[in-house]
Chains A and B, each alone.
Chain A
C-alpha cells in the first residue's frame, strides 16, 4: 500500500482515559510555568491575529482604537507575544494527534436533530460569543480557568465558576442543539 495512504488511514484509536489525559495536561501546564512563568492560553492569539490584520489593512484605525493600540500601536508587532506561537503550536499538536490516532476526517460533529448547515451556524455564533466573553474576561478556559486556577488566582476561579454556571443554566433551553 502507498505509505502516504496508510498514514492517513490509520485505524482510529480510542481517546485517553480522562484522568490520564488530565494528569498529562497538568504536567504540561506545570512545565510551562516552570520554564516560562506563563501558563497555557489561546484566545489572546485570536485578538492579536485580528490586530495584525487590522494593522495591515487600516493602520490608522489602530491608532484610534484603544484596545488595538495596546497591541499594535506604533512600532509594536501584535504577533510578538508568547501566546501566538502557543496558538500555532496547539493547532499543529492537534493535527499530529489526529493523524497519529487515525482521527483526521472532514466531518461535522453535531446533535442528532441539526443539519450540517445549522450546526455550522451555531458553531460560528457560539465562537463569536465565546471569544467576545473571553476578551472581556482577559482569558478563556485555558488562560483563566486552567492556568489561573492552578496558580490560585482569585479572579480565575470566579471566571471558571461563571463559565460553568451559565453553560449549565442555559443547557436546558438549548437542549435541541445536542439531544
Chain B
C-alpha cells in the first residue's frame, strides 16, 4: 500500500466515507486545540505580551513533531512526498496576507481554527470572530478581481521547499529546524520566567526527556536520509486512460456499433467513448513505448499553443556543438541531477520535457532520472538526433550518412560544427505542415493544480 491513500486525495460524493475521514481529522484537530486552551482569546493574546507563550510552544512542538514523523516516513519509503500537498509559494500575496493576518490576530484575539474551538464551547467573542471571518472572506471574494493578476502571479515560485532554497537535503533542514525550535522553546520558558515570574521548577521534568527524544528522532531522520533514486524510480506510477477493449476482439467499443451492448459499465452514457484507467510502472511505460515521441510530434509540439516543450539535449558537448535541435537546452547526463530542482519549479503545468540523445540509450537514462525525481511530463525523442536528421535533413548535402557506427553515436558526418544552424535543426513549419504522427504526449497535471490546500 502506498501513502497517502489515493482514494483520499479529495473528497467526493463517489466515496462518501471520505467526508467521514476528513471529518475525523477535523474532529481531532478541534479537540486538541480546545484541550490546549486555544478557545480562550486571553491565552492567545498573552502570547504577544510575552506573559504566556503557549501558542508558540504548541505550534512549534507540533510542527517539529509532524516534520520529524513526516520526513522519517518519507525516508523509509512509506510516504511518497510528491503526493503530499506542499503549499505553493507566492511571495507577494503571502507576505502581505501574513502581515494582514497578524493585525487580525492581535485585534480579534483568535486565528480561524481557534475561533472554532472558542465558538463551539460557548465563547461569544469566538462566535463574533467567526462571523467577522465570513464577512472578511466574502469581501476578499468580491475584491479579488481588482488584483487578480497580481494575486496569481506576483512572486510565484511554485512548489518550493526550504531544502531547495538552501541547496541542501530535506532531512538536514529537519535537524536544523528541530534544534532551533528546541532552543527557542528553552528561550520561551526563560521569557515566561522573566516577564510573568513563572516558576520553572514546577514544570514537569519529563519535558527534558521529550526534548532529547525529539532531537534524537531528528538525527535518525537525517541518518535514514532521502529515499534512493532507484527506489523512487521503482515506485513511480503512470495513470493512463485507454479505450476499453471488448472481450472478444481487440477493437475499441465505439467502432463496434453492431456488436451487442457491453455487459459491464452499462451506466456510462453511450455517446462517451468508454475508457479504462490503468496504472503502469515506469518500466512498463518504456516497454510499451508510450513515452517515445516521434521527431514529427516533437517538432509539431513547438507550434501547439497548449504545450510548452523543453528539448533536453543530454549528449556530450562535442556532439551538441556539431548538431542540435534549435532551442535545445544542453544538460549532459552527468549534470542532470543538479538541474532537477529547477525543472520541478518549472512554473507552467503544460511544460513537456523531451530528452534527446544520438539514439535512445542516454536519453532513456535521463528519462529514468527525471521520472525518479518526479518531474512530470517527460518524454524521449524516438530514435534521437539520428532519426530527427533522417526525418528532416535527409536531403541536406552537408550531412553525410556514415556506416558502421556504434549505438548512441551520431550516424552522420558533419562538414563543420554548426550547432543549430543546419537547416534541419529548425524545420520549416510551412513545408512540414502535413506531417502525420501518432500523438503520444498526454499531459499529466501536477497534483498542485487543485489537489489540496486551503483553496
A binds B: yes
Q: Which of B65, B130, B170 has most chain A Cβ within 10 Å?
A: B65
Q: Label chain B's interface by main secondary structure.
A: helix
Q: Which residues from chain B contact A70 at a C-beta distance below 8 Å?
A: 455
B34 touches A120 (CB 8 A): no
Q: Which of B63, B110, B142, B447 has most chain A Cβ within 10 Å?
A: B63
Query: What are 26 A-B contacts with C-beta separation under 8 Å?
Result: A24-B35, A25-B61, A37-B451, A43-B454, A54-B138, A67-B145, A87-B116, A88-B26, A89-B26, A90-B113, A122-B108, A125-B108, A126-B104, A127-B133, A127-B135, A131-B104, A131-B134, A134-B97, A135-B140, A137-B101, A142-B29, A144-B94, A148-B87, A152-B170, A155-B157, A170-B102
* Number of chain B residues close to chain A: CB under 8 A: 138
Residues 91-122 of A, flagged 1 when their CB comes within 8 A of B and 0 if not, give: 11111111001011111111100001001111
Question: Does A60 sit within 8 A of B, measured CB to CB?
Answer: no
Residues of B participating in the A interface, judged by any CB pair closer than 8 Å: 3-5, 8-13, 18-37, 39-42, 45-46, 48-49, 54, 57-67, 69-70, 73, 78-79, 83-91, 93-126, 128-142, 144-145, 148, 151, 157, 159-165, 170, 173-174, 177, 185, 204, 207, 210, 447, 451-455
A91 touches B120 (CB 8 A): yes
Q: Which residues from chain B contact A87 at a C-beta distance below 8 Å?
A: 26, 116
Query: Within the assembled complex, what's the spacing in Å between the Cα atoms of A130 and B111?
Result: 7
- With A89-B22, A94-B118 known to touch, is A123 a contact of B41 (CB < 8 Å)? yes
Q: Which residues from chain A contact B122 at a C-beta distance below 8 Å?
A: 98, 104-107
A90 touches which one: B18, B63, B116, B133 (CB < 8 A)?
Answer: B116
**B238 vs chain A, min Cβ distance (A):** 18
Query: Within the assembled complex, what's the spacing in Å between the Cα atoms of A163 and B105?
Result: 8
Which 8 pairs across A and B sit closest by C-beta, in order of nearness? A126-B108, A89-B26, A22-B61, A137-B97, A162-B98, A26-B65, A130-B104, A127-B132
How many residue pairs, one in A and one in B, have C-beta atoms under 8 Å apart? 568
Residues of A participating in the B interface, judged by any CB pair closer than 8 Å: 15-19, 21-44, 46-47, 49-51, 54, 65-68, 70-71, 80-98, 101, 103-111, 116, 119-171, 174-175, 177-179
Query: Within the assembled complex, what's the spacing in Å between the Cα atoms of A139 and B159?
Result: 15
A146 touches B87 (CB 8 A): no
Query: Within the assembled complex, what's the spacing in Å between the Cα atoms of A168 and B191?
Result: 15
A129 touches which one: B31, B136, B160, B170 (CB < 8 A)?
Answer: B136
Query: Within the assembled complex, what's the spacing in Å between the Cα atoms of A164 and B94?
Result: 13
Q: Label chain A's interface by main secondary structure.
A: helix
Residue of B nearest to A34 (CB): B3
A150 touches B113 (CB 8 A): no
A136 touches B93 (CB 8 A): yes
A127 touches B67 (CB 8 A): no
B125 touches A119 (CB 8 A): yes
Query: Within the assembled complex, what's the spacing in Å between the Cα atoms of A90 and B118?
Result: 11
A34 touches B31 (CB 8 A): no
